[in-house]
Amino acid sequence: MGVVLDVDKLRAAGRVAVAAREYAVSLVRVGALVLDVCESIERFIVESGGLPAFPCNLSINEVAAHYTPGLGDSSVIPEGAVVKVDLGVHVDGFIVDTAVTVDLSGEHGKLLETTMRALEEAVSIVKPYVSLYDIGRVVERTIREGGFKPIRNLSGHNIGRYVVHAGLSIPNVADRSLFRLRVQPGTLIALEPFATNGKGLVVDGPTINIYSYTGREPKMGLTSLEVELLDHISREYKTLPFATRWLKNWKSGDVEGLLKLLHSKGVLHGYPVLVEAGRGVVAQFEHTVLVTESEAIVLA
């Protein structure tokens, strides 16, 4: 039996997410510390009545996704940057996910316009029982007509309670194998086209600053300190992604080392930073849509 969605809580999360997205745009400027921007957005979410559904992602230029600052991160937003801000808000585990891209160079307006148009076109066709193939087809067509490539191995997704990626992938390319797969009423989906002037593919980078609890049994025994940290993670974040920096006050000085060990033992899932394979510039926009029996409601 699927999760029963609380529409009031989703709407509340959506209101916070929209405000946080607008606030995020105001913070993106040359020379700003990435850490300051992300923590300011996360603080804004809490002060507005929500909680972060995952760490604020701030991905620059060829970095497509999953960059959040780590412990002691001193990186700044450089001149001429194309900056993706991806944020999530939850109210009692009911999640809304949204993203925006800011072009500080003034040179990539067409890329941003094309990506936003692909999102708008996707939203316009979403309704009960729409085919995933049709969503991917309209996204791909719009991006290619703009002269760019969709990133074929990044996709939207459905959302569950306390689960950001709930198992269903919403493609950004026309995949005929998905023609018979339909969006059922009562489904919450995140549509997020990614477009690039590169190869249209992302690869894993070496950095992981985001993890989530898998709920699986460890591949090998855990030390008492690992058990204590895992208990803290499961209690505080449940199955939602969290940032290494959120644990900066943990009693162990080597929290990064402990997280790597828990990852290697299979009890944490890691989210590597994703980089465009051809080092092309990437743009992303995202809305969360609730599909009901009669309509599609854009929450953020």
Query: Which CATH number applies to 7-204+274-298?
Result: 3.90.230.10
Contacts of 226 (CB under 8 A, 6+ apart): 258, 261, 262, 265
The single residue listed with the structure tokens 């969290």 is: 242
Phi and psi at residue 153, in whole multiples of 5°? -105, 25
Give pLDDT tens digits for 154-181: 999 999 999 999 989 999 999 989 889 9
Task: Pinpoint the residues of the chain covered by CATH 1.10.10.10.
Answer: 210-272
What residues act catalytically? 86, 97, 157, 165, 192, 286
Share of the chain above pLDDT 90, in %: 93
Residue 108 has pLDDT above 80, yes or no: yes
pLDDT at position 269 is 97
pLDDT band at 2 (very low <50, low <70, confident <90, very high): low
Residue 173 near residue 150 (C-beta atoms within 8 A): yes
pLDDT at position 158 is 96
pLDDT at position 209 is 97
pLDDT at position 147 is 98
- Determine the length of the chain: 300
pLDDT at position 239 is 94
Q: Who wins on pLDDT, 113 or 254?
A: 113
Task: Pinpoint the residues of the chain covered by CATH 3.90.230.10.
Answer: 7-204+274-298
Residue 18 has pLDDT above 60, yes or no: yes
Residue 33 has pLDDT above 90, yes or no: yes
Task: Please give the mean pLDDT across all residues of the chain.
Answer: 96
pLDDT band at 1 (very low <50, low <70, confident <90, very high): very low
Give the C-alpha separation, 18 to 37, whole Å.
16
Q: What is the mean pLDDT of residues 133-161?
A: 97
Give pLDDT tens digits for 201-211: 999 999 999 99
Q: What is the mean pLDDT of residues 3-31?
A: 96
Q: Which two tokens stand for residue 286?
A: 């995202």
Q: What is the mean pLDDT of residues 32-59?
A: 98
Of the listed ranges 136-140, 148-152, 166-170, the least confidently predicted one is 166-170
Class of domain 210-272: mainly alpha
pLDDT at position 251 is 81
Q: Which two tokens stand for residue 169?
A: 């992938």
pTM passes above 0.85 = yes
Q: Element (H or E) spanning 123, and its range?
A: helix 109-125
pLDDT at position 252 is 73
pLDDT at position 131 is 97
Q: What is the mean pLDDT of residues 221-231?
A: 94
Residue 188: closest CA among 97, 99, 119, 117? 97
